[in-house]
Chains A and B, each alone.
Chain A
Amino acid sequence: MDSILSLVIWVPILAGVAVLTTGSDKNAVLARWLALAGSLAGLLVAIPLASGFDTTTSAMQFVENTAWIPAFNIHYHLGVDGISMPLILLNSFITVLVVIAGWQVIQDKVAQYMAAFLIMSGLINGVFAALDGILFYVFFEGMLIPLYLIVGVWGGPNRVYAAFKFFLYTLAGSLLMLVSMIYLYFQSGGSFDIQTWHTTTLGMSAQTLMFFAFLLAFGVKVPMWPVHTWLPDAHVEAPTGGSVVLAAITLKVGAYGFLRFILPILPDASHELAWFVIALSLIAVAYIGLVALVQADMKKLIAYSSIAHMGFVTLGFFMFNPLGLEGGLVQMISHGFVSAALFLCIGVMYDRLHSRQIKDYGGLVNRMPVFAALFMLFAMANAGLPATSGFVGEFMVIMSATQVNFWFAFVAATTLILGAGYTLWMYKRVVFGQITNPHVEELTDINAREILLLGVLAVCVLGMGLYPKPFTDVMHVSVVDLLAHVAQSKLP
């Protein structure tokens, strides 16, 4: 079948629309089951991408290309390579988890909630699959709308501030990106084709300007220091499902932009300004690591931890070697699993105690041993313990950084100390110890649905940690090709 990517995009979106038609909360049960079916269908149609993927070529696969707006030469052009394919699978997979996670917790506007996630899932798949600049832009901006609604409607007390901050931050960046795309359209002789842009000759000043435009657009999403402050606010206000998607998927959209746009389209500026991105990434690792240490709110803590972990992604990209770039990609996937799991863990606790404050907990293990064990696994993965997925990416990036500059590795490796520090200190205060809060005394351990969610993620985290080869096998050829591309100057 040659329209798999279309299915991957439109099945969740149509499922979302179908869920919407169930209307009010009277039909909540139907909405839930429909959403589950839709998300599972979305995952199912994505599986052929992996099973039918050819790991020996860097060319785009599962390509679809039809004219969309012929007047401007805009195409409905889809395709995936080893970089985008794993991200689509991750997204489709996380969507299923998010639907299950919201099963009991969301009782208000159920259909709309589920629909928002399904539609967003399809749009995000579109971002990863789009090979046309404008198509990419439409998906890239479109996915913000459901996310904005998720935070703004189902969020916490300060949700409007958070939603606005998030929306404005991301919008500011994207507008500059649109300008850059239009410039590229003219420079490339009237094409919005991203792969054509990869070979378009560009002068140094144009590259530099566009570098900063794209950097702002994608850097906000990643998020990179210093445009990261929307993320902790958004996480704190977002419902659990929103946080999961935000951390696991939307951050990856930003990082993906680096690989699809910045590096291949602007190779000279990328080399010239690599120091800048490296500096920001290292600040993210060390500075944000320290900031995470002092957070009193668990969600904020994990949000900051996400920023620090994404610092590894951008750091790895700008090492310009396969180890670093694939390390960054592996880190993206792994962070998808680990951050999703940690936000689900916080959700589990929040659903019971309605607090995210560390000080309200303590001694959880006495009442919730199964949860404590799973939470421990994810905490360790977050701290980058070997045999969990969290180790693989960090290890690869640190290894590649040592090849480039010892001090890059030195700063990056502080995550071994800081990551363990903020994660395990939180774990200690929340899970270990005597019960001090009488409400904790009444807690019940996780139910079958929660065990299923966390158990599936535990398998992913351990599986990827023990055997990351399948992941890097998929990525390697595309990454090598990308690096070859980046090594070539595009100056006229």
Chain B
Amino acid sequence: MDMQMLYLIVPLAPLLGAIVAGFFGKLIGRTLSHVVTIAGVAVSLAASVLVFQDVLAGHTYNGTVYTWMVLGDLRFEVGFLIDSLTTMMMLVVTFVSLMVHIYTIGYMHDDPGYQRFFSYISLFTFSMLMLVMSNNFLQLFFGWEAVGLVSYLLIGFWYTKETAIYANLKAFMVNRVGDFGFILGIGLVLAHFGSLDYATVFARAPELANETITIWFDTPWMLMSVIGILLFIGAMGKSAQFPLHVWLPDSMEGPTPISALIHAATMVTAGIFMVARMSPLYELSDTALSFIMVIGAITALFMGFLGIVQNDIKRVVAYSTLSQLGYMTVALGASAYSVAVFHLMTHAFFKALLFLAAGSVIIAMHHNQDIRYMGGLKKYMPITWITSLIGSLALIGTPFLSGFYSKESIIEAVKLSHLPVADIAYWAVLAGVFVTAFYSFRMYFLVFHGKERFHNAHHHGDDSHGQDEHGDAHSHGAGTPHETPWVVTGPLLALALPSLAIGYMTIEPMLFGDFFGNAIYVADRHPVMVELNQHFHGAMAMGLHAITTLPFWLTAAGVGLSAYFYLKRPDIPAAIQQRFSFIHSMLVNKYWFDELYSWLFAGGARLLGGGLWRGGDQAVIDGTINGTARLVERVARLLRAFQSGYIYHYAFAMLIGVFALVTWFARLN
């Protein structure tokens, strides 16, 4: 088959599924709806595999699908750029999406919005594919906003739930703040490059490397730094980087399958992908790279801390996602784009796995998400347990598992980076290793080991945020939990395999081989990858060598400490919580960012709007206009007095006039 045809099939098959399930879902029923959408994504995955093989064989593609708009020399197009970076993303997106589609059959089984849900996640898959396959900034922005829209729709999927519809609006707004920077960045690209086509822009980038622009008074700015930072602000929104991270934890109000697909594996990594894609631009600005590294380091460490105090199973994983996105961002800042993308891929598998496993636990717990009321689930849910363990081990970077290779490479890359901020970032990511291990296994132990506390769950009014309250017909009786059906455990197993092995298998070609080829560009003055390669002696050696490295022992310490705290001596964390109540409340309140933003931005905008409306529109403008009208009326009333229509008034006035005139003439003479 024609390759162009195949490229088109990849995004259009899920779109077709979304349309069918969305418009005719009620008509064709539940089963057919999920069959159609799953088939769409399966076709897309199969086509992606074929495209991947084609790219491996050395065939890349950059071409137009259709012309969106033409203004003279300026062309805006929808088109595809198919290279190794794209195909890797295509495989990740379609594979995770397929797993999530299948899983949804089980998870959303009793939900009245079943067809709608399938339609949305297929629409998401389409949007995400358009984003990663784009060959220009316009379509990138299309996909960028489209995934944001679907995320909005899915966070608010249970639209009667107040917390959900608050969370989805918040997510959309915070993302729009990022997009605000993003579109200005795109604007500068168009203004200075005269094109939005990647290839054209990248080709011209070196010419403009030293170009400066004046934005603020007469201070010259490096064009590339301004563009880089503005585009990255978009990435900060989409990939939930500090200080635009606030929406991601709240997005957990959505059903768990989308937390896995959108808010862990794919959409939130769009920012990472974008920066990697723009590597020819970012390589020209150390300022932008330093900015990225600092933001990433802050996110990686400080969001990790928040994971420690969360009791909602999904929120623990959400903060973990934030922290891991921070790791990827740090890698981008270190010019280790391929490492960032490599971690993106491994993370997609093990984090989707962790979310889906959490969802499996949530089903078994009758939609109670509080880990304080779980425990000992290991023996009731063997598949969920073992896959969760694999996911957690992969996440914390256990040697030979996928997360190990990617995270270890990030830490090494930061260590080797020559940016002035790299030292601080290095300590942040190193400390983050311990934190990650601690919160991951805190959750793991609380859920799967220790005493069975779920029998108490219904007697406690737990803080019910994030509880899935869709019209489920599950019995709420306190029976023994049991393993979830195969549509749930199947995807867990399917994701556990890459979580185990993908890192080992692919680190060599992806980081040190020529897999990415020209898709990622690294300037000679940022030799991080070259130096990293000198230390690399194969995946096996890297795993064996781990035991002599600091991160390994930090990980072990994190796991050990959490085991000691949460299995042996649960009184200790409680005591610490008492002792350091300020720090605890700071973490529980997420550093008070939500309060600050809601007061400053939401409240401030309303206050300002109200002031401008009442003060500006009503008082000044309408006041002037109605005042003018009243003035005219008063003058008219005055003048009206002279035109009363009574003869004797006129006669009297005439007499006075005659008298005045006569007097005047008399005086003259």
Q: Which residues of A contact B (CB under 8 A)?
A: 165, 168-169, 226, 229, 287, 290-295, 322-323, 326, 363, 365-366, 380, 385-387, 391-392, 395, 398-399, 401-403, 406-407, 409-410, 413-414, 416-418, 420-421, 424-425, 428, 431-434, 466-469, 472-473, 476, 480
Q: Is the CB of B621 within 8 A of A226?
A: yes
Per-position binary interface string of chain B over residues 114-148, scored 1 when its CB falls under 8 Å from any chain A CB and 0 otherwise: 00000000000000000000000010011011100
Interface 1/0 per residue, B180-194 and A, CB below 8 Å: 100110111011000
Find out whether the CB atom of B609 lies under 8 angstroms from the CB atom of A292.
yes
Which of B71, B144, B187, B612 gathers the greatest number of chain A CB atoms within 10 Å? Answer: B71
> Across the interface, which residues of B come within 8 angstroms of A387, CB to CB?
142, 146
Chain B residues within 8 Å of A386, by CB: 141-142, 144-146
Interface window among B62-70, B92-100, B404-412, B580-588? B62-70
8 contacts between A and B (CB under 8 A): A226-B616, A226-B621, A287-B612, A294-B606, A294-B613, A395-B183, A416-B179, A468-B68
Whether B180 and A229, one on each chain, are in contact in the complex, defined by CB atoms closer than 8 angstroms, is no
The distance in angstroms between the C-alpha atoms of A408 and B568, with both chains bound, is 62
**A294 with B69, Cβ < 8 A, contacts A229-B622, A406-B215, A421-B173 known:** no
Contact A406–B188 (Cβ < 8 Å):
yes
User: With contacts A229-B621, A290-B612 known, is A480 near B159, CB below 8 A?
Assistant: no
Q: Given that A226-B621, A406-B215, A476-B71 are known contacts, is A432 also in contact with B173, CB under 8 Å in the complex?
A: no
State the 7 A-B residue pairs at the shortest beta-carbon distance, nearest first.
A402-B187, A290-B609, A294-B609, A432-B165, A293-B609, A403-B191, A386-B142
B610 at the interface (CB under 8 A from A): yes
Interface residues on B, range: 35 or more
- State whether A469 touches B609 (Cβ < 8 A): no
B605 CB within 8 Å of chain A: yes
17 further A-B pairs in the complex, CB-CB below 8 A; given A395-B183, A402-B187, A469-B67: A165-B625, A291-B613, A292-B609, A366-B160, A380-B149, A399-B190, A401-B187, A406-B213, A410-B184, A413-B180, A417-B176, A424-B169, A424-B172, A424-B173, A432-B156, A468-B69, A480-B72
- Kindly list chain A residues whose C-beta atoms are within 8 Å of the C-beta of B625: 165, 169, 229
Q: Complex formed: what's the CA distance from A101 to B162 in Å?
A: 34
CA gap between A292 and B608 in the complex, in Å: 11
Q: Is the CB of B613 within 8 A of A472?
A: no
Most chain B Cβ neighbours within 10 Å, of A363, A413, A466, A480: A413
The answer to whether A416 touches B176, judged by C-beta atoms less than 8 angstroms apart, is: yes
Which of B67, B179, B184, B610 contacts A409, CB < 8 Å? B184
Task: Evaluate contact between A291 and B149: CB separation under 8 angstroms.
Answer: no
CB pair A291 B71 closer than 8 Å: no
Minimum Cβ distance to chain B for residue A235 (Å): 14
By beta carbon, the residue of chain A nearest B141 is A386
Contact (Cβ within 8 A) A291 B617: yes
Known: A425-B169, A428-B165. A385 touches B160 (CB 8 A): no
- Asked if B557 CB lies within 8 Å of chain A CBs, one says no
Do A472 and B70 touch (CB < 8 A)? yes
Whether B187 lies near A409 (C-beta < 8 A) is yes
B74 in the interface (beta carbon within 8 A)? yes
Q: CB-CB contacts of B150-184 with A at 8 A, as 1s and 0s?
A: 00000010011010010001001100110110011
Are A399 and B616 in contact (CB-based, < 8 A)? no
Determine if A363 and B606 form an interchain contact, defined as CB atoms under 8 angstroms apart: no
| Contact in complex: A473, B70 (CB < 8 Å) | yes
Residues of B within 8 A of A469 (CB): 67-70
Min CB gap B463→A, angstroms = 20
Q: Give the residues in chain A near B156, CB-CB below 8 Å.
A: 432
Chain B residue numbers with a CB within 8 Å of A229 are 617, 621-622, 625
Report yes or no: B184 in contact with A434, Cβ–Cβ below 8 A: no
B: residues with CB less than 8 A from A are 66-72, 74, 138, 141-142, 144-146, 149, 156, 159-160, 162, 165, 169, 172-173, 176-177, 179-180, 183-184, 186-188, 190-191, 213, 215, 605-606, 608-610, 612-613, 616-617, 621-622, 625, 629
Set of chain B residues within 8 Å of A428, measured between Cβ atoms: 165, 169
Q: Which of A168, A363, A409, A472 contacts B71 (CB 8 A)?
A: A472
A130 to chain B, nearest CB (A): 28
Within the complex, the shortest CB–CB distance from B304 to chain A, in Å, comes to 29
Among A168, A292, A326, A414, which residue has its beta carbon within 8 angstroms of that of B180? A414
Bound together, the chains give a CA A413 to CA B613 distance in angstroms of 21
Cα–Cα distance between A54 and B74 once the two chains are bound (Å): 21
Residues of B contacting A323 with CB < 8 Å?
A: 71, 74
Contact (Cβ within 8 A) B187 A472: no
Q: Which among B69, B149, B173, B177 has the highest number of chain A CB atoms within 10 Å?
A: B69
Residue of A nearest to B175 (CB): A420
B612 touches A402 (CB 8 A): no
Closest Cβ–Cβ distance, residue B195 to chain A (whole Å)? 12
Residue of A nearest to B629 (CB): A168
Complex CA–CA separation, A291 to B156 (angstroms): 26
From the candidates A402, A420, A425, A431, name the one contacting B191 in the complex (CB within 8 A). A402
Q: How far is the CA of A66 from the CA of B609 in the complex (A)?
A: 52
Q: Which of chain B's residues have a CB closer than 8 A to the CB of A420?
A: 172-173, 176
Tell me whether A399 and B186 are in contact in the complex, defined as CB-CB below 8 angstroms, given that A287-B612, A417-B173, A480-B72 are known contacts: yes
CB contacts (< 8 Å) of B622 on chain A: these are 229
| Of listed B142, B162, B213, residue having the most chain A CB within 10 A | B142
A395: chain B residues within 8 A (beta carbon): 138, 141, 183
A229–B617 Cα distance when bound, in Å, is: 7
CB-CB nearest in chain A for B188 = A402
A402 and B145 contact, Cβ closer than 8 Å, known pairs A294-B609, A433-B160, A434-B160: no
Residues of B within 8 A of A292 (CB): 609
Contacts of B177 in A (CB 8 A): 417
Instruction: Identify which of B67, B159, B213 gathers the most chain A CB atoms within 10 Å of its CB.
Output: B159
Chain B proximity of A131: nearest CB distance (Å):
26
Asked if A287 and B616 make an inter-chain contact with CB atoms under 8 angstroms apart, the answer reads: yes
Q: Are A421 and B605 in contact (CB under 8 A)?
A: yes
Q: List the A side residues contacting B621 at CB < 8 Å.
A: 226, 229
For B152, the closest partner residue in chain A by CB is A424
A255 to B81 alpha-carbon distance, docked (Å): 40
Docked CA distance A45–B524 (Å): 66
Q: Which residue of B lies closest to A376 (CB)?
A: B153
Per the bound structure, the CA–CA distance linking A476 and B188 in Å amounts to: 23
Q: A402 is contacted by which of B67, B162, B190 (Cβ under 8 Å)?
A: B190
B221 to chain A: closest residue by CB: A406
Q: Which residue of A lies closest to B75 (CB)?
A: A469
Question: CA of A121 to CA of B610 in the docked complex: distance in angstroms?
Answer: 36
A380 — which chain B residues lie within 8 A by C-beta? Answer: 149
Q: Which residues of A contact B608 (CB under 8 A)?
A: 290
Residues on B with C-beta less than 8 A from A434 are 160, 162
Q: How far is the CB of A165 from chain B (nearest CB, A)?
A: 8
B225 to chain A, nearest CB (A): 14
Chain B residues, CB < 8 A from A169: 625
Cα distance, A365 to B159, chains bound together (Å): 8
Given contacts A322-B72, A386-B142, A468-B69, A413 and B165 within 8 Å (CB-CB): no
Q: Is the CB of A416 within 8 A of B180?
A: yes
Nearest B residue (CB) for A404: B191
Bound-state Cα–Cα, A218 to B230, Å: 36
Which residues of chain A are within 8 angstroms of B146 by Cβ–Cβ distance? 385-387
Contacts of A431 in B (CB 8 A): 159
Residues of chain B contacted by A406 (CB below 8 angstroms) = 184, 188, 213, 215
Q: Is B612's CB under 8 angstroms from A398's CB?
A: no
Contact of A293 among B162, B165, B605 (CB under 8 A): B605
Q: Considering the chains assembled together, what is the distance between the CA atoms of A14 and B28 in angstroms?
A: 49
CA–CA, A293 and B72, complex, Å: 38
What are the residues of chain B within 8 A of A473 when measuring CB–CB? 70
Q: Is A398 a contact of B71 with CB atoms below 8 Å?
A: no
Name the residue of chain A whose CB is nearest to the CB of B74: A323
How many angstroms between the C-alpha atoms of A413 and B622 in the bound complex?
28
* Complex Cα gap A428–B177 (Å): 19
CB distance from A2 to the nearest CB of B (A): 31
Q: How far is the CB of B665 from chain A (nearest CB, A)?
A: 41
- Bound CA–CA A60/B284 (angstroms): 49
**B139 vs chain A, min Cβ distance (A):** 9
